[in-house]
Chain A
């Protein structure tokens, strides 16, 4: 039981990282980034390509791939997303959807639909004794690293000046602008940072999940549900909801496996009906 809960948290770690990126992007730009799953997939493929073509190991990929893809996100924001942000959010929604399709098919064209091999780093091949039970070392690592990342992001957002501006802009955009704070120059870096988080999750996923072009699109709908449960634009909410949804689906698998697919969506509908702006969302989103 405890072990199952732990496993739910590991699954939740991916949701949390992805949801966190989505939430800061949504908060800062008002953009629902449908290509987030594609960047998660690109992160995993980035690690694969780094190993396969350049012989770079997992650790180097973990450090190199997210910033590179984050840079791609910066370019993307400058070239396209920026033009659409003043318009109805619908347009960026559709733009990023089209982008996701293209990215996915470009990878498919190059590598096919079958999964690629990616080994676990040898340092984390064994199991760890956690006192109550033993657990695969890599999964413990994933949980630790993502929890630390979320914590670090949280500290940056709450303790630094830059972070406060970003968080203010994320959670109270109108008010922040009204106070005369120049939000504009933080938009691009935040977009890139969100993308980098998705790529980071992708690299982490490579050793334990199937690395194929569809890995992101399979996941992203659930992550959207996570973000909505947590409250779009709420940094804390998305992380909390990420781990919570991981936990719920693991326990769902355990007790009511035939319903577990629907569980996340039932949860999401219930949350929205009870608190339309999500658990930690701001009420202005609900008109």
Chain B
């Protein structure tokens, strides 16, 4: 009996020793108002590390520098800090870190947070702590629906935007019949539903939809099946991302489906995916993005500045983080305070134009950023003039059409 108690005592003592990292201090802390703290919480070591990750932190730092340069002495404060944390794609870590950033590090706003389960966890924390959270990286429309709250903003893109732009535009352009394959998890399931709706609204038909295992490296079954479906689909719509997308496209080309009259449309394509596959593998593929670095002069100038700092061309996520940070700081400047309620008031309904967001409005009713989206087409290698110049922008989809026309009724702020 005794012996185990002995052990138990030692164990907890060891736990105590191991716990010495933190230092004393109870629950909750004060927010110092003499400085603004922006925190980027995202995936810096996992599958989204190259899409956003540490380079988004760099983008946020650029926003701070630009803000300071713009206002100089007139800025509300010249003490602006940028923090970052890696949530490793684990919602639990995102949750603990978000609390810690708000409480201990006095973060006034958390930015980015890809992976929807992590984003929802952080949104709940933001609501409890009454602190601002601007999500750039997650695609779920639930952020401005069931999970919405007063302090959470959704910035950049969502599954509705991707589906209604690509799905509707490709259908109108003659791709009337679709075969949709999607990875079998929440994001893929949502994308499949919104794409199907958008295609039908645009007058097309969805011949068949198939879930695929996730992750998966062999898509042959679906690719072999595609040309044999009745009626034969004109477009293969894939909702895959990252490594799965690369696998699927490699195999799509192997089966020469394009020559068999089945075009490819991609739900979510990141410029680094094109880089991975080489433009020829995707040439002709249409997709929607929230931004493109070579969109116009403004975007390009910024992309050049970014490349000088970070060494690569920015993805749209990185630009989105830049814009979100900048608009947050502008809101603080306008309201003259970093108090969350004041900042939220300043952000709600705000109309603006910046490097990233064009014709932009932050809708007051659901905190969704409405802005122009772009239908892009991947160029063949022969037309690529410089590194990373992979995309031709076919069409700008106006802000009013790109996102949900009405706020989700299940959202009450």
* A11 and B46 alpha carbons, distance in the complex (Å): 26
- Whether B304 is near chain A, meaning CB under 8 Å from some CB there, is no
Would A209 and B49 count as touching, CB distance under 8 A? no
Q: Does B273 contact A (CB under 8 A)?
A: yes
Contact of B221 among A113, A138, A212, A253 (CB under 8 A): A253
Which residues of A lie under 8 Å from residue B45 when comparing CB positions?
A: 105, 108
A105 to B45, CA, bound (A): 9
B388 within 8 A of A: no
A257 at the interface (CB under 8 A from B): yes
Which residues of chain B are near A138, meaning CB under 8 Å? 254
Known: A120-B254, A138-B254, A212-B243. A7 touches B221 (CB 8 A): yes
Quick one: which of B275-290 are within 8 Å of A by CB? 275-278
Whether A210 pairs with B250 at a CB distance below 8 angstroms is yes
Q: Whole-angstrom distance from the CB of A78 to the nearest CB of chain B? A: 31
Bitwise, B298-323 to A at CB < 8 A (1) or not (0) is: 00000000000000000000000000
Question: Which residues from chain A contact B244 at a C-beta distance below 8 Å?
Answer: 210
Expressed in whole angstroms, the Cα–Cα distance for A37 and B184 within the complex equals 23
Q: Of the candidates B47, B212, B256, B272, which one forms a contact with A127 in the assembled complex, judged by CB atoms under 8 Å apart?
A: B256
List A contacts of B213 (CB < 8 A).
249, 253, 260-261
A209 in contact with B225 given A116-B276, A117-B277, A257-B210 (CB within 8 Å) = no
Query: How far in angstroms is the closest Cβ of chain B from A37?
Result: 12
A 245-272 to B, binary, CB cutoff 8 A, 1 in contact else 0: 0000110011001101100000000000
Could you tell me the distance between the alpha carbons of A139 and B277 in the complex, rounded to whole angstroms? 19
CB nearest neighbor in A for B220: A7
- Minimum distance in angstroms from A258 CB to a CB of chain B: 5
Q: Which residues of B contact A214 (CB under 8 A)?
A: 47, 215, 243
- Name B184's contact: one of A127, A250, A254, A261 (CB within 8 Å): A261
| Contact call A115/B276, Cβ cutoff below 8 A | yes
| Interface status of B92 (Cβ within 8 A of chain A) | no
**B276's closest neighbor in chain A, by CB?**
A115
Given contacts A7-B224, A210-B243, A257-B212, whether A117 and B276 have CB atoms under 8 Å apart is yes
Query: Are A3 and B224 in touch, CB under 8 angstroms?
Result: yes
Band of interface residues on B: 35 or more
Cβ-based interface call for A88 (8 A): no
- Evaluate whether A112 and B50 lie within 8 angstroms (CB atoms) in the complex, with A7-B220, A136-B254, A250-B220 already known: yes
A89 to chain B, nearest CB (A): 28
Q: Which of A55-103 contact B (CB under 8 A)?
A: none
Least Cβ–Cβ distance between A141 and chain B, in angstroms: 11
Instruction: Output the residue of B210, B221, B222, B272 with the most chain A CB within 10 A.
Output: B221
Report how far A196 CA is from B215 CA in the complex, Å. 25
CB distance from A107 to the nearest CB of B (A): 13
> Which B-chain residue is minimally distant from A117 (CB atoms)?
B278
In the complex, the answer to whether A254 meets B211 with C-beta atoms within 8 Å is no
Q: Does A10 contact B (CB under 8 A)?
A: yes
Contacts of A114 in B (CB 8 A): 50, 242, 272-273, 275-276
Cα distance A10–B273 when bound, in Å? Answer: 25
Contacts of A136 in B (CB 8 A): 254-256
In the complex, chain B residues whose CB is within 8 Å of the CB of A208 = 250-251, 254
Q: Which residues of B contact A19 (CB under 8 A)?
A: none
Flag whether B80 is at the interface (Cβ < 8 A). Answer: no
Residues of B contacting A127 in the complex (Cβ-Cβ under 8 angstroms): 256
Residue of A nearest to B246 (CB): A210
Instruction: Decide: A218 near B243, CB < 8 A? Known: A113-B50, A260-B213.
Output: yes
Q: Which of B22-47 contact A (CB under 8 A)?
A: 45-47
- Give CA–CA (A117, B50) in the complex, Å: 16
A261 touches B278 (CB 8 A): no
B194 close to A (CB within 8 Å)? no
CB distance from A108 to the nearest CB of B (A): 8
Nearest residue in A to B248 (C-beta to C-beta)? A210
Interface residues in B235-276 (C-beta closer than 8 Å to A): 242-244, 246-247, 250-251, 254-256, 272-273, 275-276
For residue A218, which residues in chain B have a CB less than 8 angstroms away from its CB? Answer: 215, 217, 243
Q: In the complex the two chains form, is B214's CB within 8 Å of A261's CB? A: yes
Q: Which residue of A lies closest to B223 (CB)?
A: A7
Answer whether residue B218 sits at the interface, using C-beta atoms and an 8 A cutoff: yes
B254 engages A113 (CB within 8 Å): no
List B contacts of A105 (CB < 8 A). 45
B276→A209 contact, CB < 8 A: no
Q: Nearest-CB distance from A186 to chain B (Å)? A: 33
Complex-state Cα separation, A117 to B273, whole angstroms: 10
A254→B255 contact, CB < 8 A? no
Chain A residues, CB < 8 A from B272: 114
Give, as a whole number of angstroms, the nearest-CB distance from A58 to chain B: 14
Please name all residues of chain A whose beta carbon is closer than 8 Å to the beta carbon of B184 when the two chains form the complex.
257-258, 261
Interface status of A4 (Cβ within 8 A of chain B)? yes
With A208-B254, A210-B217 given, is the CB distance from A115 to B224 under 8 Å? Answer: no
A11 closest partner in B (C-beta) = B218
Residues 200-218 (chain B) with a chain A CB within 8 angstroms: 210-215, 217-218
Query: Contacts A117-B275, A136-B256 given; 17 further ones with Cβ under 8 A?
Result: A3-B224, A8-B221, A11-B218, A105-B45, A114-B276, A115-B246, A116-B276, A117-B276, A210-B243, A212-B246, A214-B47, A214-B243, A218-B215, A250-B221, A253-B210, A257-B210, A258-B211
A residues whose Cβ falls under 8 Å from a Cβ of B = 3-4, 7-8, 10-11, 105, 108, 112-117, 119-120, 127, 136, 138-139, 205, 207-210, 212, 214-215, 218-219, 249-250, 253-254, 257-258, 260-261
The 17 listed contacts between A and B (C-beta, < 8 Å) are A4-B224, A7-B218, A10-B220, A108-B45, A120-B254, A127-B256, A138-B254, A139-B254, A207-B250, A209-B247, A209-B250, A210-B217, A218-B215, A218-B217, A218-B243, A249-B213, A250-B218
Interface residues of B (CB under 8 A from A): 45-50, 184, 210-215, 217-218, 220-222, 224-225, 242-244, 246-247, 250-251, 254-256, 272-273, 275-278
Q: Across chains A and B, which 10 residue pairs bring their CB atoms closest together, nearest first?
A: A210-B246, A253-B221, A7-B220, A115-B276, A261-B213, A210-B243, A11-B218, A115-B246, A136-B254, A218-B215
